[in-house]
Amino acid sequence: MRVTWIKKRTLLAQVMVLLGIFASMNCEAAYPERPIRLIVPFAPGGGNDVMARILGQKLTESWGQQVIADNRSGAGGNIGADIVAKADPDGYTFLFISVSFVINAAMQPKLPFDPVRDFSAVGRLARVPLILVVHPGVAAKSVSELIALAKAKPGQLNYASSGTGSATHFAMELFMGMTGASLTQIPYKGTGPSLVAVTAGQVQTTFDTIPPTQPHIQSGRLRGLAMSGRQRFPSLPEVPTFAEAGLPQYAFGSWYGILAPARTSSVTIERLNGEIARIMQLPDVRERVAGFGAVPLPASSKDFAHFLAQEIAQWSKIVRERNIRPD
């Protein structure tokens, strides 16, 4: 009798496990069953916000549930990231990130969250090339000439950034570290004021994205020396890549991606990753993305996780070598 009872208990336990698996499968098959919140850790109107809303609109159309871009700006993106790090891993809260996420991880060792352990990588959407520009009054018509000029006058050439720890700051730090050129940072509160300073001739050079620099390059108010990325950008065919300009190892660029709270279901992550890959190939999305200087470049969740680890390691190394400290 005891043996029979043990067998019955074992069979019951197996049935319960199978029922749990079936319930889980049915739940995941029905996903999403309610609106999804996509946290954008920056204010409305910027590139992060625009890209997040493009993705959210397409996901809403595809899934039949609202995907809401929720702007939670502050602390360089850390406030929004902290919200997602502490959210339930139920597949209804995600974080929209860019290069600032890995720069913060490299510069700020005492974040309220762990940038690796508290998140699961979902996927990358696109990359955003940056252009090295100079005021036309600068006696440098190529990257090599700018390097030679900066070496001949160490610290005397100024470059504008959108603030310490920004993408434009780190783009130049990487450039100086690779070339041995020495320039002095003049930080501004945003890319708008920094670009104005260069076009006015108050500062000699800067890095920036394509949309704000393109009209100034085309009008002659700025000179484009090189852009990051593998290919020239169609709207600025006269600006060479860094590889064509003699600096093939320079590969800095911004990008956009999605993270989920740690322990989010791998099924949910892969479903969203597949949707990202599909959406980024849609002709209307590619056209809209190109309009603000981005290039679709989706990646698998595994590849994106590897990419993030490489990015954090690279920028941590730059922070140490260049002795960069947050303001």
Greater confidence (271 vs 253) lies with: 271
- The Cα 42–Cα 204 span in angstroms is 28
pLDDT confidence tier of residue 253, bands split at 50, 70 and 90: confident
Mean pLDDT confidence for 213-233: 94
Provide the residue ranges of all domains of the chain, joining segments of one domain with +. Answer: 36-123+254-322, 131-227
Find, among 234, 225, 242, the residue nearest to 295 by Cα. 234
Residue 326: Cβ within 10 Å count = 11
Q: pLDDT at position 23, please?
A: 47
Task: Tell me the CATH number of domain 131-227, given options 3.40.190.10, 3.20.20.70, 3.10.129.10, 3.40.50.300.
Answer: 3.40.190.10
CB distance 128 to 139 below 8 Å: no
Q: pLDDT at position 190, please?
A: 85
- The Cα 113–Cα 240 span in angstroms is 40
Average confidence score pLDDT of the chain: 91
Q: pLDDT at position 27, please?
A: 46
For residue 100, what are the contacts with CB-CB under 8 A and spacing of at least 6?
76, 77, 165, 166, 167
pLDDT confidence tier of residue 276, bands split at 50, 70 and 90: very high
Mean pLDDT confidence for 5-21: 53
Do the domains at 36-123+254-322 and 131-227 have one common CATH topology? yes
Mean pLDDT confidence for 71-90: 95
Residue 220: Cβ within 10 Å count = 8
Question: Among residues of the chain, what percentage have pLDDT more than 90?
Answer: 79
pLDDT tens, residue by residue, 110-166: 999 999 999 999 999 999 999 999 999 999 999 999 999 999 999 999 999 998 989
CATH class of 36-123+254-322: alpha beta
Per the listing, tokens 């290039």 go with 295
Q: pLDDT at position 22, please?
A: 47
Question: Among residues of the chain, what percentage have pLDDT more than 70?
Answer: 91
Against a cut of 0.75, is the pTM above it?
yes
The three-class DSSP label of residue 172 is: helix
Mean pLDDT confidence for 193-222: 95
Find, among 175, 190, 309, 315, the residue nearest to 246 by Cα. 175
CA angle 40-41-43, nearest 5°?
85
- The Cα 196–Cα 4 span in angstroms is 84
